[in-house]
Structure 1
Amino acid sequence: MRHPKTLIAIALLATPLAGCASDGDWVELKGVRIAVEIADEHAERQRGLMFRDRLERGTGMVFVHEREQPLAYWMKNTRIPLDILYFDAQRRLVSVSNAPPCSAERCPPYPARGPAMYVLELNAGEAESLGLVPGDTLTLGPGVPERGAP
């Protein structure tokens, strides 16, 4: 029989932590570090934050596209309200969209106001609380793939 402390340690290691960024990945906005999950492949970007019941404060998901282009995100099967932040290849903020949850078959798209390469999704209201304005720069942590010019 295993020791009770060993069982607790195994249980803790096997339990996924909601909103916790794997490998300590992060981005930074206005001096605030945000733990992120990275979606840099098509299937990851397509699933995004679908079916999640919550997103921990101070965490998010960063979507990395192959090139700067017109982008529009939608919230199908997304259960939490989010801020969608679009950044160009130089990682300057292009626009912010506030998106409510949507479980309908036809959810509205939220297009960027200009070409974008990086998208950051945060809990609704976090962009406002950070005081973000177009042109603010996104700093990528070492684990986040860079595809555009810094």
Structure 2
Amino acid sequence: MSFCKENKKVIKQTEIAFKKEGELTIFKSVDSTLVKLDIEIADTDFDIQTGLMYRDSMETKQGMLFVFEDVRERFFYMKNVKIPLDLIYINENKNIVSFQKNAKPFDESSLPSKFPAKYVLEINAGMVDTWSLSVGDSISYTEH
């Protein structure tokens, strides 16, 4: 049996580059230290649905902030996401209400917030522990 090589298509995905759209600061309630990040902001239906899908990597001080119009329990999953992430769920007062740490690439299991959230911040896996973030810590952000 032979195969014609011309009929096989090789689809190469273009790397999606990080586009800084704002800056976010996490205020730790325990010792008042600050963590500063460059963020992309997902606030349209397309951006929220796509998120960090198809990305090969993200720098330590980068993240994606999802901004929703309403406040309710959120359910995220890692479909088509290549990098492990920590998800930080944040309420309308910009206080952290819960985490999903070390979400596995391509895992389609539901990652619930367990509490109502208006914002979700995705950062590289392990950073919640590295930065000793806690429920009750708060954020502020500015758009560019």
CA contact (8 A) 1:18 1:56 kept: no
Q: Which residue of 2 aligns with 1:137?
A: 138
Q: Percent identity?
A: 35
Question: Please, which runs of 5 or more residues in structure 1 have no aligned partner?
Answer: 1-15, 145-150
- Cα distance in 1 for residues equivalent to 2:54 and 2:72: 27
Asked if structure 1 preserves the Cα contact closer than 8 Å seen for 2:78 and 2:106, the reply is yes
Equivalenced residues, count: 123
1:49 aligns with 52
Residues 26-41 of structure 1: pairs in structure 2 closer than 5 A: 26-30=23-27, 31-41=34-44
- Check conservation: 1:19, 1:56, Cα contact below 8 A: no
Tell me, yes or no, if the aligned pair for 2:94 and 2:138 is still in contact at 8 Å: yes
Q: Map Cα deviations across residues 33-79 of structure 1 (whole Å, 9 max, x no partner).
A: 10000000111000000010101110010000001111011000000
Compute the RMSD of aligned alpha carbons.
1.7
The structure with the greater share of residues assigned to helix is 1
Match of 2:92 in 1: 89
Output the TM-score relative to the length of structure 2.
0.80
Name the structure with the higher strand share. Answer: 2
Aligned to 2:124: 123
- Match of 2:68, SS? strand
Any idea what SS the aligned residue of 1:119 has?
Answer: strand
- 1:79 aligns with one of 75, 79, 82: 82
Distance in 2, matches of 1:113 and 1:76, equals 20
- Output the TM-score relative to the length of structure 1: 0.77
